[in-house]
A and B are shown apart, each in its own frame.
Chain A
Amino acid sequence: MRCRRIQRKLSPYLDCELSPRATEAVRRHVETCAACRRALEETSALSGLLDAMEEMTPRPFFVRRVMAAAEAPVPAQPVVTRLKPALSRIAAVLVTAVGLWLGATLGGSLRAEQAVDDAFADELALDLEVAALSATPPGSLAEVYLDLVAESE
Chain B
Amino acid sequence: MATDEQLMKGAAAGDMDAFGELVERHHQRALSVAYRFLGDATLAEDVAQDAFLRILGAAGRYKASAQFRTYLYNVIWHLCVDQYRRKRSLPLSELPVAADAADGPEQTLERAERSDRLRQAVQGLPARQRMALVLKHYEGLSYEEIARAMGCSAGAADSLLIRARRTLKDALQDLV
Q: Is B66 among interface residues, defined by CB-CB distance under 8 A?
A: no
CA distance A62 to B27 in the complex (A): 8
Q: Which of A27-82 contact B (CB under 8 A)?
A: 42-43, 45-47, 49-50, 52-59, 62-63, 65-67, 69-71
Q: Is A4 among interface residues, defined by CB-CB distance under 8 A?
A: no
Q: Sort chain B's interface into a size bin.
A: 35 or more
- Cβ of B137: which chain A residues have Cβ within 8 Å of it? 47, 50
Contact of A42 among B56, B122, B169 (CB under 8 A): B169
- Cβ of A138: which chain B residues have Cβ within 8 Å of it? none
- Cβ of B122: which chain A residues have Cβ within 8 Å of it? 50, 53
- Cβ of B148: which chain A residues have Cβ within 8 Å of it? none
Interface Cβ pair total, 8 Å cutoff: 94
Q: Is A111 among interface residues, defined by CB-CB distance under 8 A?
A: no
CA distance A50 to B45 in the complex (A): 22
- Cβ of A67: which chain B residues have Cβ within 8 Å of it? 16, 19-20, 23
Q: Is A96 among interface residues, defined by CB-CB distance under 8 A?
A: no
**Could you tell me the dominant secondary structure of chain B's interface residues?**
helix
- Cβ of B111: which chain A residues have Cβ within 8 Å of it? 52
Instruction: Produce 1/0 per residue, B29-67, CB < 8 A to A.
Output: 001100110000100110011001100100000000000
Q: Is B128 among interface residues, defined by CB-CB distance under 8 A?
A: no
CA distance A81 to B119 in the complex (A): 44
> Could you list which residues of chain A lie within 8 angstroms of chain B, going by C-beta atoms?
8, 11-12, 15, 17, 42-43, 45-47, 49-50, 52-59, 62-63, 65-67, 69-71
